[in-house]
Amino acid sequence: MLQVGEKFPAFSLNAAVSGDEELRKAFKTITDLDYPGKWKVYFFWPADFSLLCPTEIAAFGQFDAEFQKRDTQVLGGSTDSEWAHRAWRATDPSLKNLTFPMLADVKKDLCGQLGILSLNGMAQRATFVVDPEGTIRSIHVSDGAVGRNPEEVLRLIDAIQTKGLCASGWKKGDANMKIA
């Protein structure tokens, strides 16, 4: 698995950007060079049309405005196709109004470079926070049965963006630790 401080890999993937019936509006190619100057949160899930995954995808969607306030672009993804992502967005009410792309790593290139492919060949439940220079600043991988909390990802971004020392439980607005 890649480590904090390493560069996020170059990629070019098809993505579902909506569940729109008009296909030219439903898909887009996304690369690592898109969203220049922004922080990025890449979060991966094991499989579309599953029970747990839409709960956290919808949660990231609910907090997208908060990520945008932090100059951060959210990008979700799995090893499912962009067609599966589109169908899921179109049929699951909790995913219909997502504002971020769903990356389709069907060749498993990006997940393989990141080191997050499970033994069954699906993406692990992994989150990467990447700074505007493309450097990985945070990595979190959890058990497939445990969903993520986007508020914790926001707290991490807030802490990292202070460029200071942030104690456990630090929240935006708290003072940074001082070295005596």
**What DSSP string runs through the chain?**
---TTSBPPP-EEEEE----SSHHHHEEEEETTSSTT-EEEEEE-S-TT-SSHHHHHHHHHHTHHHHHHTTEEEEEEESS-HHHHHHHHHH-TTTTT--S-EEE-TT-HHHHHHT-B-TTSSBPEEEEEE-TTSBEEEEEEE-TT----HHHHHHHHHHHHHTSB--TT--TTSPPB---
- What the block records as the tokens of 178 is 């001082």
pLDDT value at residue 20: 76
Share of the chain above pLDDT 70, in %: 100
Q: Is 53 a catalytic residue?
A: yes
Given 16, 30, 53, 154, which residue is catalytic?
Answer: 53
170-177 own/partner pairs: CB under 8 Å, 24+ apart = none
Q: How many angstroms separate the CA atoms of 58 and 179, rounded?
A: 40
The whole-number average pLDDT for the span 6-33 is 92
Domains in the chain: ranges and CATH: 12-148 (3.40.30.10)
Q: How many angstroms separate the CA atoms of 93 and 78, rounded?
A: 19
pTM of the model: 0.96
pLDDT value at residue 23: 81
Kindly tell me if the per-residue pLDDT of 22 is higher than 90: no
